[in-house]
Structure 1
């Protein structure tokens, strides 16, 4: 079984007079009321999860929920008050400053909402900069930089300066710069939120294309549930520094663990989110599927008209064309609107 690429256990980040002493006083598990009553701020509160190799974990929440602080604790840009962060089996909290610098230079990539490009350097020099800091020779670093510039679709713009690029192109430079070091773990903190909606969708498409090629382990921060649905393998929803629920998008929408998660996801379109597989009924695999059978991984929205107007059940097939289930109108209506809608 694969080991987590990064994991945290009972992670806390409190701000106040004596955070460590306060935690000890309350046995390491103060309530949110204890925290507020004694004047502390809980940026991260008792968070535990694993991120597996190649997984995209999206962390969501409203402003002030603790999602960006959590990411900074995972990368040790901020020191946690208590808990454990393990990266490839190594205790990040025990690492020295020098060891952390080496990990960030060789193992981690970071992309933030603010592109933070160096205005006096060209695209090539911006992308090559972390390799220069690492001590890589000019010929090698420029060769590597050209490779990732082409990978993010900016070939031919190596000599441009940031001011000569669009917002989306500048973000591609930021992504290329973070990829130049060949990171095993990629942290992205609302990387597309400053972009216009159309450019943002293009960058999400680009991000997904890159992930298919590179298969990175990614922690991705966003406040946009539509964006989370598009990119995430799993989603963690935070409130007051704590993770309210962690699961797939479908699990969060159909099985919310708390009233907050239910409220957070109430406006999500189930038709677009849920797949045919999620609500089909298993079928006799020995039977030959109908000619108009549909694949299990398509969304319910893509077959809505057919289901509602025909009233006929639909055969569902897997990637190899084998019959694996059937779907009827009642199951579709029940999934979207509740069982009472089909009474």
Structure 2
């Protein structure tokens, strides 16, 4: 499967002599030295790929460069160096007119602050991208209504934006992006202006829509828990650079450096980890034929703890074909809930007598 979106060694420098600044960055000069000569390096040597149907989350603190990076992906900002490829086409080589065509038909953006037109109805706001495309009125209203229904706004089509709550207004922004049927959605801190409960509701809405629509999404956030909840893959940025890319479990269990480790120290591991992440893979036996309760590799950590509490031995983890792929000793569950940095296969707890029992059934 080829990547839908590719970023290749992207740099963005604002200020004096940006091309020369890129060369200095490549030679090892840091951001502070450049700032002293009037150049600001917002993004430094960023590379990643996004697969079709994937939610790729870019997270970092304010000033890390994540929003600048997002704006280079659809040509709103031109990279100082590097390339962006979308479905194999080099976006950095397109003319302004061609870029506008890509943004109108293939790439949609959902903004943090809704960006709704107050003088247009909910339907008219949702249909705006289609209006820009030149879609006839009847067709764009039909597609806008379908997108609004997907976002839970059926019956609100004739309302005005100021009659909606913040969460509902953000749903209109999402519906507007979906109505164009764009292949790629760029979401820039789209939920960060919402209250915590509404924010979680919007996260649920996005995950539910993604199961059906399978869009390719790049989602920007400064909230680690949001990143862990939404992202199929996550890129962590610091000072303009991507310092680690991987799944939520990769980042949580194998932080690339002390910065990432400190960033994730307060994350609720039970909301992220699955049986596959914590199981002991050093097992014997090809088939799990015991009649005891088992877990699938994607069983959430909290459910795994519940199973462990019901059985007197380690939990057997079996694949779709019934093959035993691992076991989870109770000591390992305790270890992962604690402060220790144990990863799969590195837990200090030795295999206990119960492990032999469960493998004897396998």
TM-score (norm 2): 0.88
Tell me the residue number matched to 1:260. 259
List per-residue Cα deviations over 1:108-136 (Å, max 9, x = no partner). 11001110111111111111111111111
Tell me the residue number matched to 2:356. none
Tell me the residue number matched to 2:160. 161
Offset, 1:263: 0.7
Offset, 1:281: 2.6
Tell me the residue number matched to 1:65. 64
Tell me the residue number matched to 2:325. 324
**Cα pair distance change 1:174/1:316, threshold 3 Å:** same
Q: Is the 8 A contact 1:290 1:315 kept in 2?
A: no
Tell me the residue number matched to 1:242. 241
List per-residue Cα deviations over 1:189-228 (Å, max 9, x = no partner). 0111111111111111110111111111110001111111
Give aligned pairs, total.
342
Offset, 1:287: 3.9
Q: Is the 8 A contact 2:288 2:322 kept in 1?
A: no
Q: Secondary structure of the equivalent of 2:115?
A: coil
309-318 vs 72-81, which moves further? 309-318
Offset, 1:96: 0.4
Tell me the residue number matched to 1:6. 5
Offset, 1:342: 4.5
Q: Structure 1, unaligned stretches of length 5 or more?
A: none
Mapping 1:35-46, distance limit 5 Å: 35-46=34-45
Offset, 1:88: 1.1
State the Cα RMSD in Å.
2.1
List per-residue Cα deviations over 1:120-166 (Å, max 9, x = no partner). 11111111111111111111111111111111111111110101111
Offset, 1:33: 4.8
Mapping 1:1-343, distance limit 5 Å: 2-24=1-23, 30-282=29-281, 283=283, 284-304=285-305, 307=308, 312-319=313-320, 322-337=323-338, 338=340, 342=349
Inter-partner Cα distance in structure 2 for 1:255 and 1:265: 11
Q: Is the 8 A contact 2:84 2:92 kept in 1?
A: yes
Inter-partner Cα distance in structure 2 for 1:287 and 1:164: 57
List per-residue Cα deviations over 1:246-287 (Å, max 9, x = no partner). 011111111111111111111112232211111223442334
Offset, 1:17: 1.1
List per-residue Cα deviations over 1:323-343 (Å, max 9, x = no partner). 432211222234344368758
Inter-partner Cα distance in structure 1 for 2:172 and 2:25: 46
